Amino acid sequence: MPTVKSAKLSPLDELGADFFPPFTGFPKEGLVFLQKLKKNNRRDWFQPRKDQFDTLLKFPMQCLVATLGEKLRRDAPEFSYDPKKALFRIYRDTRFSKLKIPYKTNVGASLDVKSDKPRGEQISFYMHIEPEGVFAGGGLYMLTPDQLKAVRASIIGDPETYLEVVEDAAFKKMFKRIEGEKLKTAPKGIAKDHPMLEHLQHKQFFVSKPFTDAAIHKAKFADDLAHVFRTMLPLMRWLHHIAD
C-alpha cells in the first residue's frame, strides 16, 4: 500500500489555532523577509514562501498580541486582545489604487476598543513592524465627520479636560504632541484667534512612539509596548467617551 505524505504544517497548525505562547521576540529573519518582499512583491515569489511569512512574522505577532492581553487586560479591559482578529492582512486591496503591488511590506496589528464600529473608526492601539519603521501608535486615524464634529465640540466646551490629557508631563515626554493631518486655517465656524485653534485644526488624533529594529527581537518588546499603551490610555479613553 502506498504511503501518504503528510503536508507540512505551519506553527499555527502544529500548536493549535487557539494556542499562542508568550512572546519571545521576532526572529531576525522576519525583517529580512520583509526586505526581500519589497524587492520581489509578486504572487509567484510570495506564495511559495507563505509558510516563512507565517513562521517569521504572523505567528510572532499573534503571540505578541496574546502577551499584551495578559499585560494590559486588567488596566484596559475595554480593548480586544484577540490574536486571531488583531492582525491586518498582508494582502493589499488594489481595487482603487494606482499601485498594484499585491502585498504590504509591513506587518501591523491593532487592539481595538470593543465596538460595533468598522475598523478604522474605532479607537485602537496599533503596532507596526517594518524595516527601519517600527512604531507603536494609538488614537483615531480615520474620523468620520460626526466623530470630528464631536471631538471639536468637546475641545471647545471643556478645554480643561482635553488639556489635562495632552499636557500631562508623562504623556508629553513619551509622545511630544498629537499627530495627524491638520487644517492650515481655522475650521468653518471657528474664530481664527480661538485659544484652542491649534488643537481644533486637527483632522486626526493619534500619537506614536518609534522603536529600533533591534527592539523587536527581544521579549522585553512586549513590556515596552505595554508601557507605551498605558501612557496613551488617558487619550484613548477621552476619545472613546467623545467619539464612540
**pLDDT on residue 17:** 53
User: Would residue 138 count as lying in a domain?
Assistant: yes
User: Would residue 177 count as lying in a domain?
Assistant: yes
The domain tally of the chain equals 1
User: Would residue 156 count as lying in a domain?
Assistant: yes
Q: Ranked by mean pLDDT, which of 8-12, 56-60, 143-147 comes out on top?
A: 56-60
pLDDT-derived band at 45 (thresholds 50, 70, 90) equals very high
Residue 115 structural domain: 24-243
CATH of the domain at 143: 3.30.930
Average pLDDT over residues 83-94: 93
Q: Which residue in the block uniquely carries the three cell numbers 481664527?
A: 192
- C-alpha closest to that of 26 among 66, 69, 56: 56
- C-alpha closest to that of 126 among 143, 114, 115, 113: 113
**pLDDT on residue 16:** 45
Tell me if 70 sits within 8 A of 115, measured CB to CB: no
Give the whole-angstrom CA distance, residue 19 versus residue 121: 29
CA angle 144, 150, 155 (to 5 degrees): 130
- pLDDT of 239 above 90: yes
Give the whole-angstrom CA distance, residue 238 versus residue 244: 10
**pLDDT on residue 232:** 97
Q: In the chain, pLDDT over 70 holds for what percent of residues?
A: 93
Give 188-215 pLDDT, tens digit per residue.
999 999 999 999 999 999 999 999 999 9
Give the whole-angstrom CA distance, residue 156 versus residue 239: 14
Q: Which residue in the block uniquely carries the three cell numbers 522603536?
A: 211
User: Would residue 2 count as lying in a domain?
Assistant: no
pLDDT-derived band at 9 (thresholds 50, 70, 90) equals very low
- pLDDT of 3 above 90: no
Give 115-171 pLDDT, tens digit per residue.
887 777 789 999 999 999 999 999 998 899 999 999 999 999 999 999 999 999 999
- C-alpha closest to that of 33 among 49, 47, 48: 49
User: Would residue 16 count as lying in a domain?
Assistant: no
CA max distance for the chain: 86
The model's pTM is 0.89
Q: E-strand spans in the chain?
A: 107-112, 124-129, 134-140, 205-211
Residue 104 neighbours by CB under 8 Å, 6+ apart: 88, 89, 90, 91, 92
User: Would residue 201 count as lying in a domain?
Assistant: yes
**pLDDT on residue 7:** 41
User: Would residue 81 count as lying in a domain?
Assistant: yes
For the chain, the average pLDDT equals 91
User: Would residue 11 count as lying in a domain?
Assistant: no
**pLDDT on residue 243:** 83
